[in-house]
Amino acid sequence: MSGERHMRIGEVAERTGLSLRTMRHYEEVGLVIPSARSKGGFRLYTERDVERLMVIRRMKPLDFSLDEMRDLLEIVDRLADGERPAEGEERERLRERLDAYREKADARVEALRVRLGMAEEFAGTLRERLGS
Burial class, 44, CB count within 10 angstroms (exposed 0-12 / middle 13-18 / buried 19+): middle
Q: Based on the domain organization, do 50 and 4 belong to the same domain?
A: yes
CA distances for 93 relative to 6, 27, 56, 113, angstroms: 34, 28, 22, 30
pLDDT of the residue at 1: 46
Q: Based on the domain organization, do 80 and 28 belong to the same domain?
A: no
Question: Could you tell me the pTM of the whole model?
Answer: 0.81
Mean pLDDT computed over every residue of the chain = 92
Q: How confident is the model at residue 3 (pLDDT cuts 50, 70, 90)?
A: low
Q: Based on the domain organization, do 74 and 21 belong to the same domain?
A: no
pLDDT of the residue at 132: 60
Q: Based on the domain organization, do 9 and 36 belong to the same domain?
A: yes
Q: Based on the domain organization, do 50 and 67 belong to the same domain?
A: no
Please tell me the total count of domains within the chain.
2
pLDDT digits (tens, 9 = 90+) for 23-74: 999 999 999 998 888 888 889 999 999 999 999 999 999 999 999 999 999 9
Q: Where is the domain boundary, 41, 62, 83?
A: 62
Q: Based on the domain organization, do 21 and 80 belong to the same domain?
A: no
Q: Based on the domain organization, do 53 and 109 belong to the same domain?
A: no
Single-letter amino acid, residue 40: G
pLDDT digits (tens, 9 = 90+) for 7-20: 999 999 999 999 99
**Is the predicted pLDDT of residue 2 greater than 90, yes or no?**
no
Q: Based on the domain organization, do 42 and 82 belong to the same domain?
A: no
pLDDT of the residue at 126: 94
Q: What is the CA radius of gyration of the chain?
A: 20
Q: Based on the domain organization, do 91 and 120 belong to the same domain?
A: yes
Q: Based on the domain organization, do 77 and 131 belong to the same domain?
A: yes
Please choose, from the candidates 78, 83, 68, 84, the residue with its C-alpha nearest in 3D space to the C-alpha of residue 31.
68
**Is the predicted pLDDT of residue 108 greater than 80, yes or no?**
yes
Residue range of the domain that includes 28: 1-62
